[in-house]
Amino acid sequence: MTEQFRFDGSASASVDAYLEYRRIVGDDDGGRLMSPEEYERYKRDVLPIRTKNRLYVSWTSPTGMDCKLIGPETMCFCQHRYKQHKTDFKELPSSRPILVNCRVKGCSCFSYTYAPMNGTQSVRCHCKHYASDHGAMAPHRCTLSACLCKGFQTSFTCGCGYKSSEHQTVVETREERKERGHPVGQEGVPYAAMGGLTGFSSLMDGYLRLDDSGIGAPSKEWLEEPRRSRSSTKQQLKS
């Protein structure tokens, strides 16, 4: 028999408050829950910076499509998550590309780089070893002993039709992203390390998203046309 848990109103509110705390603070508390006073001071100091200087991170195809939008839990080549990198900046860097270094002690990663995945599994290099077996920084040499691999290379092809090697990790400001014509979501989001996430559709691969960062929303005419004619319309769009 499956055991069921029931919470009264106060317990449910406490769970919601903790989840909100975790989304805002992330790993900045060092594993020790902040006191109410520390939490309020943290929000007062960090949230204005975070909402003003948010960075948008995506894994982008040669056409400019955001094939993967990076979120807090998305893994880097260094095998640490995006939320474990420096994502809050008092002042936005003036140099490009913007470097988002890993904050984990002893990690040599000086800028977040998306490690391509095939579903939930890391893809393999031509040396037969996984991306997770390669170094944090380009050219991502294999770290396994006796392997002669001098840099990560894979035949894995993204759903957009381009090889993963033809993609790049893009870190950009709100203004730069708007100039590319891609969605930026709501202003004032307080959560840590949101990267390129702007909504539920952000969790889908670029070619599946019906928004400006993917293949584009379908036209009103396409949505309203008779169902029987859509297959021929799709064929015309492909050609």
Cα distance between residue 160 and residue 180, in whole Å = 18
pLDDT in tens, 154-201: 989 998 899 998 999 999 999 999 998 888 888 889 999 999 998 888
**Range of 127's domain?**
53-214
Say if CB 26 and CB 34 are below 8 A apart: no
Instruction: Answer whether residue 36 is part of any domain.
Output: no
Instruction: Answer whether residue 44 is part of any domain.
Output: no
Q: What value does the mean pLDDT take over residues 57-81?
A: 94
Q: Is 1 exposed, middle or buried (0-12, 13-18, 19+ CB in 10 A)?
A: exposed
Instruction: Answer whether residue 149 is part of any domain.
Output: yes
Instruction: Answer whether residue 135 is part of any domain.
Output: yes
pLDDT in tens, 130-150: 998 999 988 999 999 889 999
Q: Is the pLDDT of residue 222 over 70?
A: no
Backbone angles phi, psi at 163, to 5 degrees: -65, 155
Res 172: pLDDT: 97
Say if CB 101 and CB 85 are below 8 A apart: yes
Res 195: pLDDT: 94
User: Which token pair is 23?
Assistant: 């989304």
Closest CA to 78 of 123, 112, 30: 112
Parallel, antiparallel or unpaired: strands 117-118 and 121-122: antiparallel
Cα distance between residue 50 and residue 68, in whole Å = 22
Average pLDDT in the chain? 86
Q: Is 71 helix (H, G, I), strand (E, B) or coil?
A: coil
Say if CB 59 and CB 66 are below 8 A apart: yes
Instruction: Answer whether residue 159 is part of any domain.
Output: yes
User: Which token pair is 34?
Assistant: 């902040």
Q: How far is CA 98 from CA 74, 94, 112, 217, 221, in A?
A: 18, 8, 10, 30, 41
Instruction: Answer whether residue 115 is part of any domain.
Output: yes
Grade residue 215 by pLDDT with cuts at 50, 70 and 90: very low
What is the arrangement of strands in the sheet containing 66-69, beginning at the earlier edge strand?
A: 66-69, 55-60, 168-173
Instruction: Answer whether residue 195 is part of any domain.
Output: yes
Q: Is the pLDDT of residue 236 over 60?
A: no
For 112, other C-beta atoms within 10 Å of its C-beta total 30
Grade residue 229 by pLDDT with cuts at 50, 70 and 90: very low
User: Which token pair is 234?
Assistant: 């799709």
Grade residue 220 by pLDDT with cuts at 50, 70 and 90: low
Q: Is the pLDDT of residue 60 over 50?
A: yes
pLDDT in tens, 91-135: 999 999 999 999 999 999 999 999 988 888 889 999 999 998 999
Domain count, the chain: 1
Instruction: Answer whether residue 89 is part of any domain.
Output: yes
Res 77: pLDDT: 93
Q: Is 6 exposed, middle or buried (0-12, 13-18, 19+ CB in 10 A)?
A: exposed
